[in-house]
Amino acid sequence: MNIILLGPPGAGKGTQARVLVERDGMVQLSTGDMLRAAVAAGTEVGKRAKAVMDAGNLVTDEIVIGIISDRLDEPDVKGGAIFDGFPRTLAQADALGDLLAAKGMSLDKVVEMRCDDEELVTRVIGRFTCSGCGEGYHDTFKPPKVEGECDKCDANGFVRRPDDNEDAMRNRLFVYYKETSPLIGYYYAKDNLAMVDGTAAIDEVTAQIAQALKN
């Protein structure tokens, strides 16, 4: 099964994707993670993307479509792909449809994760990640069980993203409404949209997604 988790920054896409990876053996295709890896590696794409990402704007369709196209050729996606943070524009959505068709894959469900804007800002500003395994945390909503130690691995270093500040986040929300939210209607019209309440507790959202994927 191949699905899209669609929602604004902070909606919980990464958090839920990691649950699906652990529970169902699907693979998480996060263009944000792939772009951050390119920035860290200092590649040509990374150099082009860095300032755009820090300001909370979108990198070009050409770059992300290229990244996703290459990633879909790797064998592990056969176990089911979770698109997280892609597509973000109508052009990307069209391109994804073409790519999947060309590779003999289908899109089974688009799960819209709906959330309240001020909650999103609070979530993103309190977000941090384990530098060892990538597990996501939140200062208030999901602190590690033992302070300073990852629940999932032996590493004890955490990182915060440069774009998880209030200015960049407010711009990312604006960009979401302007460029990405039309995808809700797009997938509704294609009849594969389901909506979950992203403001619910993490486990409750997981349960709602499981239900949505059964239908």
Task: Report, as residue numbers or ranges, the catalytic residues.
Answer: 13, 88, 127, 161, 172
Virtual CA dihedral for 200, 204, 210, 215, nearest 10 degrees?
Answer: -60
> Taken in order 140, 114, 215, 2, is the CA torsion positive or negative?
negative
Binding string to ligand ADP for residues 138 to 157, with x set by CB under 6 A, is what?
A: x--xx---------------
Picked from ligand ADP, Zn ion, none, the partner binding residue 31 (CB below 5 to 8 A depending on kind) is ligand ADP
> Which residues face 83 on adjacent strands?
4, 29
Shortest distance, CB of residue 145 to ligand ADP, whole angstroms?
13
Question: Contact region for ligand ADP (CB under 6 A) — 5-13, 38-46, 101-109, 152-160?
Answer: 5-13
Judged by CB, which is closer to ligand ADP: 56, or 109? 56
Instruction: Show the binding pattern over residues 93-122: x = contacts ligand ADP (CB under 6 A), - = does not.
Output: ------------------------------
Give the CA angle between residues 71, 79, 59 to the nearest 5°.
30
Residues numbered 139 to 198 that lie near Zn ion (CB under 5 A) are 150, 152-153, 155
The entry of Zn ion, ligand ADP, none near residue 194 (CB within 5 to 8 angstroms by kind) is none
Binds ligand ADP (CB under 6 A): choice among 38, 56, 93, 209: 56
Decide: is 173 part of the binding site for ligand ADP (CB under 6 A): no
Q: Which CA distances in Å does 8 have to 73, 155, 212?
A: 27, 29, 19
Query: Taking Cα atoms as reference points, which of 87, 81, 98, 79 lies closest to residue 58?
Result: 87
Cα–Cα distance for residue pair 145/157, rounded to 1 Å = 14
Q: Which range of residues in 75-83, 121-129, 135-143, 203-211 is near Zn ion by CB under 5 A? A: 135-143
CA distance 90 to 69: 16
Of 15, 37, 18, 16, which Cα lies nearest the Cα of 27? Answer: 18
CB of 92 closer than 8 Å to CB of 4: no
Residues contributing to the site for ligand ADP (CB under 6 A): 7, 9-15, 31-32, 35, 52-53, 56-59, 64, 85-86, 88, 92, 123, 126-127, 136-138, 141-142, 163, 172, 200-202, 205
